[in-house]
Amino acid sequence: MPVTVTRTTITTTSSSASPTVLGSPRSLYQPLGLLRLLQLLSTCVAFSLVASVDAYVGFSGNWCMFAWCFCFAVTFIIIVVELGGLQARFPLSWRNFPITYACYAALFCLSASIIYPTTYVQFLSHGRTRDHAIAATAFSCIACVAYATEVAWTRARPGEITGYMATVPGLLKVVETFVACIIFAFISDPYLYKNRPALEWCVAVYAICFILATVAFLMNLFDFTNALPIPFPSFLSGLALLSVLFYASAMVLWPLYQFNERYGGFPERRRDSLCSISHVNYVCAWDRRLAVAILTAINLLAYVADLVYSAHPVFV
């Protein structure tokens, strides 16, 4: 006897965009689908332009190339999963994964859009290579805006029941871990803190808070929030409070011991002779110290906001 096969579609709605049909090619013609196609195209063009002229030598160039390739690959995977209606088979929580990734991708492309022109493009001579690099920067900016738009569209609204990573505290976890990774890059030279207990404590603070924040959002992505002996919202509030206290100490100690002569610091940039050198891929020690101080302040503010918002969690 003849067999009739009917394709099943799943429809989801949000307050900021029209319904998206999943498990069907029609999902690509919805606003979120079109936005992801823009993300895919812009990241693909960015790394293709750079790769065509080998304009990614050194740490900064390699980082930007990684950011664009990574964002392209994961966006492609998300599109395939939604086209095939494979959300239930995906190993991570689909309530939390897409927006978590979109937030990371926005930060990746933002960093690439800043780092690439300031530490690489400006040192290129005029010509085809420089033109390709400038165009790649432009497409990186477009990708950043596209990913940020997805975060704005899909984040939780006040009073809405949703996944934790779509809430403000969840998005702040992404910011906190990303900023910590940048801090680790700047303090990769032990010379900045070795044999100085106060500065070694600051490095420990960055590492401990990064690990705790990573554990928190991984528990959400893998749906392990019920594995704790205490309610998960209480765990998050305690984590945020501990991180605020730790970062507050680092916010005091790092500038004090890096920029105060009384504690062996260097208050002026000109005292670092290497800072007079302008060279691609090189960031002098004083600039690294300043960057870490600024990033510490940014993360402290993020943790304070996290603590405030964690007092009123609404998620499932």
Helix (H) or strand (E) holding 11: strand 10-12
Q: Within this chain, do residues 141 and 283 fall inside the same structural domain, yes or no?
A: no
pLDDT tens track for 139-180: 999 999 999 999 999 887 666 667 778 888 889 999 999 999
Q: Within this chain, do residues 149 and 165 fall inside the same structural domain, yes or no?
A: no
CA terminus-to-terminus distance, the chain: 46
pLDDT, position 273: 66
Domain assignment present for 3: no
Q: How far apart are CA 80 and CA 86, in angstroms?
A: 8
pLDDT, position 61: 85
Domain assignment present for 233: yes
What domain count does the chain have? Answer: 2
Stated pTM of the model: 0.83
Q: Within this chain, do residues 164 and 299 fall inside the same structural domain, yes or no?
A: yes
Q: Within this chain, do residues 272 and 196 fall inside the same structural domain, yes or no?
A: yes
Question: Between these two residues, 132 and 227, which has the higher pLDDT value?
Answer: 132
Q: Within this chain, do residues 147 and 168 fall inside the same structural domain, yes or no?
A: no
Domain boundary among 139, 154, 169: 154
**Residues 251, 246, 244: CA angle, nearest 5 degrees:** 90
Domain boundary among 154, 169, 190: 154
Query: Does position 1 have pLDDT exceeding 50, yes or no?
Result: no
pLDDT tens track for 227-273: 788 888 888 889 999 999 999 999 999 999 988 878 777 777 776 66
Radius of gyration of the chain (CA): 22
pLDDT, position 14: 40
pLDDT, position 272: 67
pLDDT, position 233: 84
Angstrom distances, CA of residue 155 to CA of 78, 135, 144, 165, 170: 17, 30, 16, 8, 10
pLDDT, position 20: 43
Domain boundaries, position 119: 12-154
Average of per-residue pLDDT across 26-30? 75
Q: How far apart are CA 100 and CA 155, in angstroms?
A: 10
